[in-house]
Amino acid sequence: MTRERADRADLLRTMPLMAEELLDATDHEIIALLREDARRTFSDIAVRVSLSTAAVKRRVDRLREKGVITGFTVQVDHAKLGWGIEAFAQLRFFGSTNVAEIVETTTRIPEAQAVFTIAGDPDAVVWLRSRDMAHLQSTIDELRRSHRITSTRTLIVLDSWVRGEDRPE
């Protein structure tokens, strides 16, 4: 393969594609089955979508190569692991704090599950998990001790729903 052709292949592989160019109904069905059970075998999926096992494997490989499927994961009941309190903390930072400083400030605590820097006010939202309310309070206090954070607002999750996940009975 010539260098020019290899460069074009790399560009096409990383170029975002329109959804209709990349995914058909069968791809969506395969993704739904894998979201339901990431350990599902290609042969089981093949039966459900009326394709051969090899065809399912090729489709999953293509979806992974294009970055549609980014990994396979397990769903965990965090409450059963002792982390039953979930909250979101809205954070306002001093002056023109850059994104790297926001991420560094928030991810140093193990209770931070994700950090979202956002446009407007506040500057960031942090998804937190804690053992109990006292633990959540100490986590918020720890964030407040940062000289970069000027104010916080905590939103405690009462219940949640996530698209593609079954709700426990």
5-56 pLDDT, tens digit each: 555 555 545 555 555 567 999 999 999 999 989 999 999 999 999 999 999 9
CB proximity list for 45: less than 8 A, separation 6 or greater: 30, 33, 34, 56
Residue type, 24: D
Place 130 in a pLDDT band, splitting at 50, 70 and 90. Answer: very high
Query: Please, what sign has the CA dihedral across residues 109, 81, 76, 86?
Result: negative
Q: For 133-157, what is the mean pLDDT?
A: 95
Of the candidate ranges 18-32, 63-77, 106-120, 138-152, the one whose mean pLDDT is the lowest: 18-32
CA–CA separation, 161 and 169 (whole Å) = 13
Q: Are 166 and 32 in contact (CB under 8 A)?
A: no
Place 166 in a pLDDT band, splitting at 50, 70 and 90. Answer: low
- CATH 3.30.70.920 in the chain is located at 78-156
CA–CA separation, 109 and 94 (whole Å) = 19
CATH fold, domain 78-156, is Alpha-Beta Plaits (3.30.70)
Which top CATH class is 3-65? mainly alpha
| Range among 94-98, 141-145, 163-167 rated most confident | 141-145
CA–CA separation, 126 and 107 (whole Å) = 9
- CATH 1.10.10 in the chain is located at 3-65
Residue 128 in this model has a pLDDT that exceeds 80: yes
